[in-house]
Structure 1
Amino acid sequence: MRRWQGGAAPDTVPFSADLSGTPEEAALAARRAAARRRRLRWAAAAAVLAALLALLAAALLWRTELAGRVPALRPWLEAACAPLGCRVPSAKQLSALRIDGSQLQMPDAGTEDYLLTMTLRNQGRAVVALPAIELVLTDAQDRPLQRRVLMPADYLPAAHRARDPDGAAGLQAGAELPLQVRFRTRQAADNYRVSVFYP
């Protein structure tokens, strides 16, 4: 170990706690930190936007189910669909539909004309799609003689068809739809069965 003999210690570089280097290096480090913060903010904004777009896409994909389960969402879903040219079809819920007071008559004796009268009622809390109606003519032993399937375009009243030709608007919650369907057949029927289904 060397010892200093006499005289004062040689000049030394004073210790500095500032490790940032030159002012130019400090400014560069600050710029890099600011750039990192900006990138993080943009990444977070992009992630939020991607999540919102994914949520919107899922809502549009399952729009029928959503509108059926949460009727209050229907106006929002229709507004989101409008620019895309899509529609929000009514939900197919057979459990919500009921047939009231059906009757099959031959209004003009001696003719082959029949008149089916019935009321279709929506007992649910949301708009439901109009179903197909199945009419089965039977004999006295209740054996099927003839089966007819009536689509909404076949059974909707003329005034209703004028504003909604294929019945796409469905049947509103709690609403009823009185129907009268006239048809012709040579098959003499003693009885009939009527039911609804979705094709």
Structure 2
Amino acid sequence: MTNAGLIAWAFLGVLGLVFQASLFFKDELAAHQPDLRPALAQLCLWANCKVGPLKQADAVVIDHAAIDQLSSSLDPLDTAASLHWAFEVHLRNSAKVPVATPWIELTLTDAQDQAVMRKVLDLSQWGAPPVMAAGDILPMSLQLSLVNPEVNFVGYRLLTFYP
């Protein structure tokens, strides 16, 4: 094999690596270099993929969270009225680029900080946008109800994540 053949194979190998890296980091490239999005979308047409919003787990922080009971009944036998809760959370995108809106895991805890109930919340079901702009603050207010009236909780933990 001649030098020209080796150079051609090396060039094809480098092109293959660039193609593979572009596909692997397509979301990061599109978020940090928005002018590359059309080229990446065209590349994904060939590779049968999709350029989506950046999913950066540590970019979205919880600025505020609160759980308050909405109503309570004077009748101790009327458990339905006492099981409605208002859940409020403010998420902030601390990144300098747009990121996907995360999901939230809400864990209710007892006095020993043991989990008594977990709930995973897809915020898009409550009208949250799919993408949070850089520096954006997303206030969400939701009404929750407990299925099991015997669950007594004194605290909660929140976790943001991407499915």
Normalising by structure 1, what TM-score? 0.58
| Match in the other structure for 1:140 | 111
What amino acid sits opposite 2:33 in the alignment? P
Q: Which residue number corresponds to residue 91 of structure 1?
A: 54
Q: What SS does the aligned partner of 1:93 have?
A: coil
Question: Aligned letter for 2:58?
Answer: S
Q: Distance in 1 between matches of 2:124 and 2:24?
A: 29
Matched, 1:178 2:139: yes
Q: How does 1:90-169 map to 2 (within 5 A)?
A: 90-110=53-73, 111=81, 112-150=83-121, 152=122, 155-156=123-124, 158-160=126-128, 167=130
Post-superposition offset of 1:97: 1.1
Partners of 1:75 and 1:125 in 2: how far apart? Answer: 21
1:53-64 mapped onto 2 (5 Å cutoff): 54=16, 55-56=18-19, 58-64=21-27
In terms of Rg, which structure is larger?
1
The one-letter code of the counterpart of 1:189 is F
Percent identity (aligned): 32
Q: Which amino acid aligns with 1:62?
A: F
Contact 2:64/2:91 (CA < 8 Å) preserved in 1?
no
CA–CA distance in structure 2, aligned partners of residues 140 and 71 of structure 1: 48
Q: Deviations over 1:113-165 (max 9, x none)?
A: 11210111111012222222111112233332111111x3xx236554xxx6x
Structure 2 gaps of 5+ residues are: 74-80
Work out the number of aligned pairs and report it. 145
Q: 1:74, 1:127 → 2: CA distance?
A: 13
What letter matches 1:179 in structure 2? M
What is the root-mean-square deviation of aligned Cα atoms in Å?
Answer: 3.1
For the structure 1 residues 175 and 80, does the alpha-carbon distance in structure 2 shift closer, same or farther, using more than 3 Å as the test?
A: farther
Q: Does 1:196 align with 2:163?
A: no
* TM-score normalised by length of structure 2: 0.69
How much has 1:184 moved relative to structure 2?
A: 1.1
Larger strand percent: 2
Say if 1:130 and 1:105 are closer, same or farther in 2 by CA, change over 3 A. Answer: same
Partner AA of 1:131 in structure 2: P
